[in-house]
Amino acid sequence: MGQASDERVTSKPVTSLPTPPETEDDASDTALNDSCSIPLPPPTKGATQVLDIDKNTPDAHVPRDPRLIRLTGVHPFNVEAPLSALYDEGFLTSPELFYVRNHGAVPHVTDEEIPDWEFSVEGLVENPFTLTLKQLLLDFQKITCPVTLVCAGNRRKEQNQVRKSKGFSWGAAGTSTGLFTGVLMAELMRVAKPKRKAKYVCMEGADKLPNGYYGTSVKLSWVMDPERGIMLAHKMNGEILPPDHGKPLRALIPGQIGGRSVKWLKRLIITEGPSDNWYHLYDNRVLPMSVSPDEAANNPKWWKDERYAIYDLNVNSVIAYPAHDELLSLVNAPQMYRLKGYAYSGGGRRITRAEISIDKGNTWRLADVEYPEDRYRQYEQTLFGGEVDLAWRDTSFCWCFWSLDVAVEELKGAKDILVRAMDESMNAQPRDMYWSVLGMMNNPWFRVTITEEGDSLRFEHPTQPALQPGGWMEKVKKAGGNLTNGFWGEKLDGDDSGTPAEAAAPEIKLTRDDVDTIISVDELRKHDNAQSAWFVLNGHVFDGTTFMDAHPGGAQSIISAAGMDATDEFMAIHSETAKKMMPKYHIGSLDEKSKTILEQGEAQSDGPAEKRSTFLQSRAWTTAALVEKKQISWDTRVFMFQLEHDEQTLGLPVGQHLMVRLRDPVTREPIIRSYTPISEMNQSGRLEMLVKIYFETPKAKGGRMTMALDSLPLGHGVEFKGPIGKFEYLGRGRCSINGVVRTVKSFVMVCAGSGVTPIFQVFRAVMQDPEDGTRCTVFDGNRMVEDILCRDDLEQIATANPGRCNLIFTLSQACEGWTGLKGRVTGELIQKHCTPDPETLVLVCGPQALEKSIHADLISQGYKDSDLLFF
């Protein structure tokens, strides 16, 4: 494929016009006949099928190409093409292989709705206005030009090999080129007339995400600069924008990272300062190398500093051929091999050289560079309804292709091939990687290794995208090489530092050095039960069997993880103290093949959703859509979720909890917390959760999960798993604690704040059954009266059962007129109302400080540990 030949990467013949003319302008397109010298889109069949894997996602309306490599599981859709397939398409990428970066679900816009799509131009302008897409196309001049889009995460997998960044693993195909048709944004600005202080144009899309609508900004002066070609596009390669690429309207910011080109565009807001959109602040930045993931998470100042925001792309180049794992037979080999690849730079800066080294960077040879974009500069006619008017522009916004013929004999004697590019400002790719928390803008020299295997040469790229194994970086890392030693992890003479850079990350060690047993996935899966529960964290195997009884989360949580990879949940919900206990349970490591098998598949649900009678599954995540959000107070909400079908019940025993998982839309890191729903356990079709939102304040960071939940749009799916917990109320005084059943005559229930939810479940279950003679004394402590959650429900239950329960609220900051108790829940208060009794069980749920003080007080009053249960 990559062998010497005269094949060209640029001109693909076009046999027909992609779409019939929609306007008079289109009809006047120059016939795209054989004499046409511009590269035209590759023949495209266009994806027409909704793939099976998308059918149960919010993108069930989007047809896609199965060749695309999914980088973040099934949903949201973040994909790149195999590098060779992308390169073989030539200068323009067909829509079905164009990379996609979606933070969430694709807004559903039908063809009929396109002309009426509205967007606004507002903010610091004399004439704010709203326009339909139809008006935009009728009233403004349209242009067509080629633009290369590049995701700032392109080549991030290499960064992740050095040290895991907060971003998913793009290979080297996070880039694509389209021929876009639309209107210059500057034309709209001229109508809107920005006011004196206006400096930025903020853009907002229609995709509502956990942290609001996707949005970002660019400078107004850039928008007004005709050289920069900033535009709104409605067509790509002559066709309506595909849903994944912004149908029906997107911004295009040539020469800048793809993240600035907002899709499904709804608003242009002219402002004095840069965008304060969450995605502008927390995405698309290169923080200083010295900022660790922890520091970045704990110190918001890094994210608010515009100096670290990425706009222009940096200079980059990649080797496409030889492809990864390509074998070049030395038997009857051609004399020459043609090395080929792509290069691009940012801000309209042109690539002025691409250089190849086959002696580790000691000497460099100049490659040929071909700029297909230039051919449009000579084409001054309309194309796809837009004028091609690039003759006067000095900027270059597309990728170019480099190639160099090298004697096969020379490759035989070489260990690797390196490429580096330079742009017209003499910006050159560095030899060494600049690692940063988000792993963006990775652009060191691209290196392909050469290994002689029998009669052939095998070529290896640095990495393969997503979880795909392969690449020389993985090998170097496994062999203990230091990828950041400036020599691609190879040992230099006299260098005995074998420590991978990752070891520098301050992480708690979960493993023991003296454990070296290798375990297969088949062996692991035999230990998936209460008698023997093995589970995997970061590729290492742990035996949790002996810890089941002592596990604060109950034996069931360990059993649920048995035989599986529990890394995400474990890391998300365990404290440092818990992590420090892990070496004691470390029994071995998975072999490489087993790791891949486990990584590739999360446990699948048992059977199709429509057939399952209960929603929760202990070993697989199931998704319910948020259908309603009720505001209870300024910081408290009830979130209502629709289960998979109306007859389905939740499947959560009284007193147990479930896990909720949301993924950070930028980094895809999971956020997992446990909650107790407030809906009745036997209610079918619905699940209700009462949640107090911990907002960010100048003093506190705010709760990641609660803030993300609060900003979820209706219709968004949330994942659940469970049940978990060691306690279960079986009814009529019978309780199960870690599977051991005992009967109690009364409960003392102590809670504070949102700790009321598990208490409420048990209290309601006891009181709902008229035959249940168990007595309950509930102590519920809060700061102010507004903070008392479920107050009405609790009081109604108490009023209906006067002889069986006592409900005591106490407030630490009571307002005037509060006639109830004042102060916190203390041992003294409990002593006033209850006496220790072997037939009483105390249930406690609240902040750690409360649980600690109640524990100490009650033990001193004569309660036994076996009679105290902390949720």
Pattern of binders to ligand MTE over 467-496, x per CB under 6 A? Answer: ------------------------------
Nearer to ligand MTE, 440 or 558 (CB): 440
- Nearest distance, CB of residue 46 and ligand MTE, angstroms: 15
Catalytic residue among 151, 398, 751, 805: 151
Q: For residues 461 and 448, what is the distance between their CA atoms, to the nearest angstrom?
A: 5
Q: How far is the CB of 397 from ligand MTE (least distance, A)?
A: 15
CA gap 364, 832 in Å, rounded: 86
Provide the 10 A C-beta neighbour count for residue 739: 13
Residue length, the chain? Answer: 871
Q: Are strands 868-870 and 840-845 parallel, antiparallel or unpaired?
A: parallel
Buried-exposed string 670-704: b where 16+ CB fall within 10 A, e elsewhere: bbbbbbbbbbbbeebbbbbbbbbbbeeeeeeeebb
Is 284 an active-site residue?
Answer: yes
Side-chain-side CA neighbours of residue 668 (13 Å):
20
Stretch that binds ligand MTE, among 97-105, 321-329, 360-368, 465-473 (CB under 6 A): 97-105
Helix and strand element counts for the chain (H, E): 20, 44
Q: Tell me how far apart the terminal alpha carbons of the chain are, to the nearest angstrom.
A: 62
* Between 316 and 649, CB nearer to ligand MTE: 316
Cα separations in angstroms, 787 against 186, 675, 752, 815: 51, 18, 10, 12
Nearest to 319 by CA among 93, 87, 156, 148: 87
Interface stretch with ligand MTE, choices 94-102, 317-325, 730-738, 844-852 (CB under 6 A): 94-102
The three-state secondary structure class of 103 is: coil
Binding mask 584-603 for ligand MTE (x = CB under 6 A): --------------------
Catalytic site includes residue 283: yes
Contact pattern for ligand MTE over residues 45 through 84, marking x by CB under 6 A: ----------------------------------------
Burial of 331 (0-12, 13-18, 19+ CB in 10 A): exposed
71 vs 825 by CB, closer to ligand MTE: 71
Q: Is 101 in the site for ligand MTE (CB under 6 A)?
A: yes
Binding flags for ligand MTE, 424-463, as an x/- string (CB under 6 A)? ----------------------------------------
Identify which of residues 176 and 746 has a Cβ nearer to ligand MTE in the complex. 176
Write the interaction track for ligand MTE spanning residues 489-528; mark x where CB under 6 A is met and - where it is not: ----------------------------------------
**Minimum distance from residue 149 beta carbon to ligand MTE (Å):** 5
Per-residue tokens: 718: 């949330």
Binding of ligand MTE at residue 651 (CB under 6 A)? no
The whole-angstrom separation of Cα 200 and Cα 192 is 14
Q: Given the structure tokens 């697989």, which residue do they identify?
A: 620
Distance CA 418, CA 431 (A): 10
The whole-angstrom separation of Cα 779 and Cα 844 is 10
Say if residues 370 and 400 touch (Cβ distance below 8 Å).
yes
Least spacing, CB of residue 439 vs ligand MTE, in Å: 13
- Are the beta carbons of 228 and 215 closer than 8 angstroms? no
Report whether 790 belongs to an annotated binding site: no
**Distance in Å, CB of 229 to ligand MTE, minimum:** 17
809 sits near ligand MTE (criterion: CB under 6 A): no
CA–CA separation, 397 and 253 (whole Å): 10
In the stretch 679-698, what mask flags binding to ligand MTE with x, by CB under 6 A? Answer: --------------------
Q: How far is the CB of 241 from ligand MTE (least distance, A)?
A: 8
Q: Examine residue 99 and tell whether it contacts ligand MTE (CB under 6 A).
A: yes
Subset of residues 103 to 142 that bind ligand MTE, contact rule: CB under 6 A: 103
- Sort strands 775-782 and 746-752 into parallel, antiparallel or unpaired: parallel
Coil, strand or helix: which one is 310? coil
Pick one of 81, 121, 133, 151: the residue that binds ligand MTE (CB under 6 A).
Answer: 151
Q: How far is the CB of 712 from ligand MTE (least distance, A)?
A: 16
Contact mark string toward ligand MTE, 255..294, x via CB under 6 A: ---xx-xxxx------------------------------
Which residues does residue 407 pair with via DSSP β-bridges, in sequence order? 336
Query: Residue for token digits 């935009």?
Result: 136
C-beta separation of 239 from 72 below 8 A: no
Preceding omega of 300 cis (within 30 degrees of 0): no
Q: By CB under 6 A, name the one of 59, 96, 207, 710 that touches ligand MTE.
A: 207
Q: How far is the CB of 82 from ligand MTE (least distance, A)?
A: 16
> Contact between 205 and ligand MTE (CB under 6 A)?
yes
Query: Which residues 229-248 are close enough to bind ligand MTE by CB under 6 A?
Result: 244-245
The residue whose two tokens read 């109320």 is 729
User: At closest approach, how far in Å is the CB of 438 from ligand MTE?
Assistant: 11
CB 372 within 8 A of CB 91: yes
Is residue 151 flagged as an active site residue? yes
262 vs 441, beta carbon nearer ligand MTE: 262
State which residue, 203 or 691, has the beta carbon closest to ligand MTE: 203
Three-state DSSP class for residue 387:
strand
Residues 435, 421: Cα–Cα separation, whole Å = 20
Judged by CB under 6 A, the stretch of 92-100, 289-297, 577-585, 794-802 that binds ligand MTE is 92-100
Q: How far is the CB of 258 from ligand MTE (least distance, A)?
A: 3
Alpha-carbon distance of 355 to 318, in angstroms, equals 11
Number of residues lying near ligand MTE (CB under 6 A): 19
Query: Catalytic residue among 88, 207, 283, 787, which?
Result: 283
Query: Under the criterion CB under 6 A, does residue 707 sit at the interface with ligand MTE?
Result: no
| Nearest-CB residue for ligand MTE | 205
| 98 or 871: CB nearest ligand MTE | 98
Helices (H), 372-424: 408-413
**What tokens were used for 734?**
């019978």
Are residues 682 and 695 in contact, defined by beta-carbon separation less than 8 angstroms? Answer: no
Minimum CB distance to ligand MTE, residue 244 (Å): 6
102 in contact with ligand MTE (CB under 6 A): yes
Contacts of 626-630 with C-beta under 8 Å, sequence gap 24+, read 626/712, 626/713, 626/714, 626/715, 626/716, 626/717, 626/718, 627/714, 627/715, 628/714, 629/712, 629/714
Looking at beta carbons only, is 101 or 540 nearer to ligand MTE? 101
Contact pattern from residue 316 through residue 355 relative to ligand MTE, giving x for each residue in contact according to CB under 6 A and a dash for the rest? ----------------------------------------
DSSP label at 75?
S
Binding piece for ligand MTE, criterion CB under 6 A, among 20-28, 99-107, 519-527, 788-796: 99-107
The least distance separating ligand MTE from the CB of residue 669, rounded to whole angstroms, comes to 16
Q: Which of 78, 211, 284, 801 is catalytic?
A: 284
| Degrees, nearest 5: CA angle 155-159-160 | 105
User: Quick one: which segment of 96-104, 189-197, 395-403, 850-858 binds ligand MTE (CB under 6 A)?
Assistant: 96-104
Compute the distance between CA of residue 120 and CA of residue 122 in angstroms, rounded to an integer.
6
Of 100, 270, 521, 705, the one binding ligand MTE (CB under 6 A) is 100
| Helix, strand, or coil (residue 727) | strand
- Point out the residues that are catalytic: 151, 283-284
Would you list which residues are annotated within the binding site? 151
Q: By the criterion CB under 6 A, which residues form the site for ligand MTE?
A: 98-103, 149, 151, 205, 207, 214, 244-245, 258-259, 261-264
Would you list which residues are annotated within the binding site for Mo-molybdopterin? 151
